Amino acid sequence: MPSQAVLARNQNKRTLSPVISEREAGLKAQCIRGAANRCMGMDRDAANTDAAAQQDALRHLEQQLRQRDETISVLQRRLEHFRVWLLGVQAQVSARDPQIIKNARRLYVGGIPEGTKEEELRAFFEGVMASTGAAVAPGPPIASVKVSSDRSYAFLELRSVEEASNAMAFDGILFNDVNLKIRRPSNYNPEEAAPAGPDCPDPCVATAHLAMCKTVVEDTWDKIFVGGLPCNYGDEQVKELLAPYGSLKSFNLVMDKNTGKSKGYAFCEFSDPRVIPQVINGLHMQCLERKVLTVKRALEGNRQGGGSKSMAPALGSASSSTRRQQQQRQRAAAPAQRRRGGWCWQCE
C-alpha cells in the first residue's frame, strides 16, 4: 500500500492541476494576443510603407508630367519662331520670283480612277492630312484641285510649302482601289525652292495605318527587277502577277514618256523580303504572252562587283541587236523544254 507521503503528493497534484491549467490557458491567451498585436502592428507599418511609396511615386509622376509639359511648351515656341522666320524667307523668295513658291506648293497626282471629281479628291486629301498630322494648322490645307480633261491625273495646290512636302508622304496611297502616284511638278526646282521650306515630309506624319504601296522603289538589296513584260500590261496586271507571293511595299512599272506605254519592265519590293527567293524561282524564265520573264534582284550585279548602276534601265533601252544577244544568251541557258506548246525564244 502507498505511504501517507505518496498519498499526500497525489492529493496535492489533483488539487493544483486546475490552477496550473488555468494559468497555462492565460499565458497562451496572452501570447496569442501579443502575437496578434505584433502582426497588426507589422500590417500597419507595411500599409504605411506602401502608402508612402505610392505617394512618392505619384509625386515623381507629377514632376515628370510638369517637365514634359514644359518641354512641349519650349518646343512649340521654338517651332513658332522657326515658322515666323520661314514666312519671312518665303516672302523674300516670293518677292523675287512668285512662281518659285507656287511651284513648291503644287503636287502632281497620277493614276486617279476614271470619273474622279475635284471635290472628291479634295475631300480625300484633306481628310488624310488631318488624320495623319500632315496639316500644320487648322483649316483646309488644299487651296485648289485641278483634274485633267482626260481625268487621268490632277494637280493639287496646297496652302503652304511645308504641307505640300508633307503630302509627298502619301505616294502610293489607296484611293478608290487605285494606288495614287504623287510627284513634284516638272517645273519644280529643288535648289530654287530650298529657301521656301522643307522638300521632304515631316517624319512625324503618321502613315503606318494607311493602305499604301509606294510608287518609288528604293535602291536596296530587296529591290526586284521584273523584265520581259508584255508592253500592253498595266500596273494592275503586273501586280496580279506578283500578288500570289505577298503584299507589295512599293511598285513601279516604268513607262515611256513619249508613248505613255510600258517599257516592258518594272521594279518592286515586297513587305516581307523573305519571299524574294520564291518570287525569283516562281517567275524567272516563265513565258508570258510570247515573252520570257527575267526576274532577279535589281542590285545583284552591284553586290557581285558589277557597275554602279542597276541593270534594269540598260535592259529597257537596249537596241534591237542587244535584245537579240540577250535572247541568244537566254536560249543557251534555258532548259530544253516546251512551254505553252512552243519554244518561247521563237515567239519573239
At residue 345, does pLDDT exceed 80? Answer: no
**Structure-model confidence comparison of residues 330 and 338, the more confident one:** 330
Running DSSP on this structure, what letter comes out for residue 18?
A: H
What is the CATH code for 100-196?
3.30.70.330
What is the rounded distance in angstroms from the CA atom of residue 84 to the CA atom of residue 82?
Answer: 5
Architecture of domain 224-347: 2-Layer Sandwich (3.30)
pLDDT of res. 340: 37
Answer whether 6's CB lies under 8 Å from 13's CB: no
Name which of 20-24, 150-154, 298-302 the model is least confident about. 20-24
Q: Of the spans 12-21, 55-64, 220-229, 319-328, which averages the highest pLDDT? A: 220-229
Domain with CATH 3.30.70.330 in the chain: 100-196, 224-347
What is the rounded distance in angstroms from the CA atom of residue 224 to the CA atom of residue 218?
Answer: 10
pLDDT of res. 94: 67
pLDDT of res. 144: 95
Share of the chain above pLDDT 90, in %: 40
pLDDT of res. 342: 34
Name which of 106-110, 131-135, 332-336 the model is least confident about. 332-336
The pLDDT mean for the chain works out to: 80
Q: Of the spans 23-32, 192-201, 261-270, which averages the highest pLDDT? A: 261-270
> Which pLDDT tens digit goes with each residue over 161-206?
999 999 999 999 999 988 999 999 999 998 888 888 888 999 999 9
Neighbour tally for 345: CB within 10 Å: 15
pLDDT of res. 338: 37
Nearest to 252 by CA among 293, 222, 215, 220: 215
